[in-house]
Amino acid sequence: MRLVPASFKREALAAALVLALGALVCLGAAGVSSARPTHPSRTAVVPDGTYGVNVATRGEYIVFTVRNRRVSKLAFQIQILCQASDSPSAEPRFFSAAQAPQGRLIPSNGRLHLEWQERGDGRLGNIGVNLRFGTRDSADLNVIVPEEQGPEAMPDEAKETCDGGSILHFRRGYEVPPLPTTPSGAPAF
């Protein structure tokens, strides 16, 4: 039996086929891996302390405490626009709140969302607060006050609907200014 020497053309074709198949597998694997995030999930660092800001020019503020990644003692005041049922134009008002849900855990991504209802400045408001911790800490505050059902509190008083929102950039280490007091030293409110 006589053996025929291998053809260089066949060997080159087989090698090219193996290389092309290998390149196709590598590109497919690279396409699958690019669907994954390029960085591992990040956990926002939220040190314990008092956070807040007071924007005196607009009359808006927010202040709260963080302990063990839990938010408590959240209080704020923002401007809202109110439209009375008997008025053609909206008027600016303030809405203050201090009864937020207590002890809510800040998720690892540093974004906490709170929702609740509270009566502030005589109005029952639906409140939404988004706290974001990261490179620039911010609070996105929204208040909607629907028209209350039933008779007016006063005979000549019109019903009103209000809404408003604000974004406040807070910082850690905020010190609450002294609260106003009466001449006897008791809180003024």
Residue 42, CB-side half-sphere exposure with 13 Å CA sphere: 11
Assign 153 a pLDDT band (cuts: 50, 70, 90): low
Q: What does the pLDDT look like over 17-41, one tens digit per residue?
A: 666 767 766 666 655 554 445 555 6
Please state the pTM of the whole predicted model. Answer: 0.68
C-alpha 70/C-alpha 131 separation (Å) is 12
Q: What does the pLDDT look like over 76-126, one tens digit per residue?
A: 999 999 998 777 889 999 999 999 999 999 999 999 999 999 988 788 999
C-alpha 1/C-alpha 176 separation (Å) is 101
Residue in 41, 22, 35 with CA at minimum distance from that of residue 110: 41
C-alpha 32/C-alpha 27 separation (Å) is 9
Q: What does the pLDDT look like over 158-182, one tens digit per residue?
A: 788 999 999 999 999 877 666 566 6
